[in-house]
Amino acid sequence: MKLLRYGNPGQERPGIVDAQGQVRDLSALVADIGGAALSAESLQTIANTSIDSLPLVDRAVRLGPCVSSVGKFICIGLNYADHAAESGMPVPAEPVVFMKATSAITGPNDPIIKPRNSTKLDWEVELGIVIGKHASYVELDEAMDYIAGYCVINDVSERNFQLERGGQWDKGKGCDSFGPIGPYLVTKDEVADPLNLQLWLKVNGKTFQDGSTKHMVFGPAFLVHYLSQFMSLQPGDVISTGTPPGVGLGQNPPVYLHEGDVVELGIEGMGIQKQIVVNAQ
């Protein structure tokens, strides 16, 4: 299933994509796409419903983040060996973990806001994992049971803030609009192999990233297992799993985003995002 949220910011309603690619309203079944609605039981109830009987939604409606009320937005750094190389950093022996502020989360087609004093605004297409049930000290061979589905994430980054302003990475990762999520939460039953997905990103029509999740250092199951040793994971938590090579920082010379630039990105079977860069007011 492809689940989504639609409507104005802060007023999104739950929806689902039908077999014809149209959006149907899910409000009669769930209050929102998040929390308890992501349990296996809830997802099965939706799957058992006659989708074509649900109300149609206007195609022109804005799509919001595909997950509501995200408690934790966890990111994995340098999780593709070739991206680590272009960043001039070694492949990590264990996952590099950092957090994005949940206030960074936006819809898949909302603008990227270039922060004040930003000089090195960058892009990163990433596969997102959405947690479906409470996970603590999860065994590796059971980790997939805790995943509700997957989504497209743009891990927007400000490299000057991230790498040249002292401290950890968070300053360059958590600015408003730095976490577009969606358009869909694709339930895991529709993803035959999360480690065999093409993902890509273009800026102003030029392809910069064109990779595959098969090059991940640490796959989704291991990441859920690993993270659950350090913190409990809750339904609706999002894990952004790292990016393939082709980020702006890795170009020679580096290429960064400016007002008016158009970023398009997608993952096989999970939809496409499109953002325009605007300056912060």
Structural domain contains residue 11: no
Structure-block tokens of residue 181: 């999520």
pLDDT of residue 111: 98
CATH number of the structural domain spanning residue 156: 3.90.850.10
Structural domain contains residue 139: yes
Give mean pLDDT, residues 271-280. Answer: 98
Structural domain contains residue 107: yes
Structural domain contains residue 54: no
Looking at the chain, the whole-number percentage of residues with pLDDT higher than 70 is 100
What digits encode the pLDDT tens for the residues 221-270?
999 999 999 999 999 999 999 999 999 999 999 999 999 999 999 999 99
Structural domains in the chain (count):
1
Ranges 1-15, 85-99, 246-260: which has the least confidence: 85-99
Rounded to the nearest integer, the mean pLDDT of the chain is 96
Structure-block tokens of residue 37: 């609605």
75 vs 95: CA distance, rounded Å: 10
209 vs 248: CA distance, rounded Å: 10
Is residue 170 over pLDDT 80? yes
What's the number of CA atoms in the CB half-sphere (13 Å) around residue 199?
A: 30
256 vs 259: CA distance, rounded Å: 10
Structural domain contains residue 26: no
What digits encode the pLDDT tens for the residues 20-33?
999 999 999 999 99
Structural domain contains residue 47: no
Give mean pLDDT, residues 197-207. Answer: 98
Q: What is the DSSP string of the chain?
A: -EEEEESSTT--EEEEE-TTS-EEE-TTT-SSSSGGGGSHHHHHHHHTS-GGGSPB--TTSPB--SSSS-S-EEEEES-BHHHHHHTT-PPPSS-EEEE--GGGEE-TTSPEEEPTT---EE--EEEEEEE-S-BSS--GGGGGGGEEEEEEEE--EEHHHHHSSSS-GGGGT-STT-EEB-S-EEEGGG-S-TTS-EEEEEETTEEEEEEEGGGBSS-HHHHHHHHTTTS-B-TT-EEE----S--GGGSSS-----TT-EEEEEETTS-EEEEEEEE--
Is residue 87 over pLDDT 90? no
pLDDT of residue 89: 78
pLDDT of residue 86: 77
Q: Which domain holds residue 189?
A: 67-279
pLDDT of residue 83: 79
Structural domain contains residue 95: yes
Structural domain contains residue 5: no
The phi, psi pair for 3, rounded to 5°, reads -100, 150
